[in-house]
């Protein structure tokens, strides 16, 4: 269709540059890297979930290094307090005044490691910062640095010593990604290349805060056809009326997908969103926003399976693909 073109800029090779640089530390994970970049460019946050030892923390630390942004890490434990995240005022006896000491949330990239080992009140201390990019402490509102990205890791909730994230907290994450185990070839390559140590020092920055903000602005300009919007809304409606779903995708979930689609298309070198982009991103953005019925839970049904079923039965708008009947 007219106006649907490839972007003749340096944006298209961005994924390749970042993936190549990350390969110094992280083996494989190309698809996950694109998802991380998509969240970054759409101003979303990422939740990485899987068993310990599958490379969650390594991927986040390496990704933060190539962004050249200020970085901080929080290791969550049951005794972690909200003030350990946000900061607190400390009394200085020499000046007889209180001085505010910023917490780790005042960095551009925040790694919250094993977030579900923190108590719910500490988990909730991140809510305002993730949604509004500001925090209110002792009655004073303080803005966070931009860009701002929270990348949290969590262990499966069945593990001992974990606290399930509240629904409101889950909804603040743009995507939930399960890494899974590497392939045989990837694990062999990992042992050969980084088996002794992880050379984080060898990683060079590919992006800068200024370039990230520029790319975030470019992502907002990507065109979304009316039929793609109708397709997205129809899918959201289907989640709300599915017999095995007790709580479907909220309007915030629809908005999150809309923004992510633009960033995903931009990384593909396109100035427009395709229906296939919707099918690709829906499981990562909507699965953790749905609650299933007791019947579905007992039968072992997963949100991803229900989303796949909905995607299969919902017709794709042809006009938005640039094709004709």
pLDDT digits (tens, 9 = 90+) for 74-111: 999 999 999 999 998 888 888 878 888 899 999 999 99
Are 225 and 270 spatial neighbours (Cβ–Cβ below 8 Å)?
no
At 164 the pLDDT is 77
Share above pLDDT 90 across residues of the chain, in percent, rounded to a whole number: 44
User: Is 6 a residue whose pLDDT tops 50?
Assistant: no
CATH number listed for the domain at residues 7-215: 3.40.50.300
Reported pTM: 0.86
pLDDT digit string, tens, across residues 223-276 = 999 999 999 999 999 999 999 999 899 999 999 999 999 999 999 988 999 999
- Which has the minimum average pLDDT: 161-170, 207-216, 267-276? 161-170
What's the chain's average pLDDT? 86
Among the residue ranges 47-51, 163-167, 252-256, the one predicted with the least confidence is: 163-167
CATH code for residues 221-325: 1.10.8.80
- pLDDT tens digit sequence for 195-205: 677 788 888 88
CA atoms of 27 and 116, how far apart (whole Å): 26
Flag whether pLDDT at 118 surpasses 70.
yes
pLDDT digits (tens, 9 = 90+) for 121-152: 888 889 899 999 999 888 889 999 999 999 99
What's the pLDDT band for 309 if we cut at 50, 70, 90? very high
> What is residue 289's predicted lDDT score, i.e. its pLDDT?
92
Q: What is the pLDDT of residue 42?
A: 95
Residue 305 has what pLDDT?
92
Mark 187-200 as b/e (b = at least 16 C-beta within 10 Å): eebbeeebeeebee
| Domain boundary assignment for the chain | 7-215, 221-325
Peptide bond into 147 cis (omega under 30): yes
The pLDDT of residue 199 is 81
Residue 8 has pLDDT above 60, yes or no: no
CA distance 158 to 19: 32
Q: For residue 272, which phi and psi values (nearest 5 degrees)? A: -150, 155
Give percent of the chain above pLDDT 70. Answer: 92
Compute the average pLDDT of residues 294-313: 90
Could you write out the three-class secondary structure of the chain?
Answer: CCCCCECCCCCCCHHHHHHHHHCCCCCCCHHHHHHHHHHHHCCCCEEEECCCCCCHHHHHHHHHHHHCCCEEEEECCCCCCHHHHHEEEEEECCCCEEEEEECHHHCCEEEEECHHHCCHHHHHCCHHHHHHCEEEECCEEEECCCCCEEEEEECCCCCCCCCCCCHHHHHCCCEEEECCCCCHHHHHHHHHHHCCCCCHHHCCCCCCHHHHHHHHHHHHCCECCHHHHHHHHHHHHHHHHCCCEEECCCHHHHHHHHHHHHHHHHHCCECECCHHHHHHHHHHHHHHHCEECHHHHHCCCCHHHHHHHHHHHCCCCCHHHCCCC
């Amino acid at each position: 269709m007219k106006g649907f073109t490839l972007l003749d800029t340096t944006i298209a090779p961005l994924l390749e540059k970042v993936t190549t640089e990350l390969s110094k530390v992280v083996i494989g994970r190309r698809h996950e890297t694109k998802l991380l970049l998509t969240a970054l460019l759409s101003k979303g946050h990422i939740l990485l979930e899987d068993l310990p030892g599958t490379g969650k923390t390594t991927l986040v630390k390496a990704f933060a290094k190539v962004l050249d942004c200020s970085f901080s890490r929080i290791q969550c434990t049951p005794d972690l307090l909200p003030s350990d995240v946000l900061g607190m005022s400390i009394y200085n006896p020499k000046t007889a005044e209180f001085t505010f000491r910023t917490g780790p949330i005042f960095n551009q990239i925040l790694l919250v490691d094993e977030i579900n080992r923190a108590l719910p009140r500490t988990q909730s201390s991140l809510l305002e910062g993730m949604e509004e990019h500001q925090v209110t402490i002792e009655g004073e509102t303080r803005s966070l640095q931009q860009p701002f990205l929270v990348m949290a890791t969590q262990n499966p909730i069945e593990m001992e010593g974990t606290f399930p994230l509240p629904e409101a907290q889950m909804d603040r994450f743009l995507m939930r990604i399960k890494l899974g185990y590497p392939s045989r070839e990837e694990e062999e390559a990992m042992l050969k290349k980084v088996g002794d140590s992880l050379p984080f020092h060898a990683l060079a920055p590919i992006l800068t805060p200024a370039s990230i903000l520029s790319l975030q602005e470019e992502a907002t300009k990507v065109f979304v056809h009316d039929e793609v919007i109708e397709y997205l809304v129809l899918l959201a409606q289907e989640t709300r009326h599915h017999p095995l779903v007790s709580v479907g995708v909220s309007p915030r979930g629809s908005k999150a997908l809309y923004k992510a689609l633009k960033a995903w298309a931009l990384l593909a070198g396109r100035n427009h969103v395709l229906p296939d982009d919707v099918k690709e991103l829906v499981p990562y953005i909507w699965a953790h926003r749905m609650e299933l019925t007791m019947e579905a839970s007992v039968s072992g049904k997963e949100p991803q399976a229900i989303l796949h079923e909905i995607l299969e039965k919902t017709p794709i708008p042809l006009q938005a693909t640039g094709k004709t009947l």
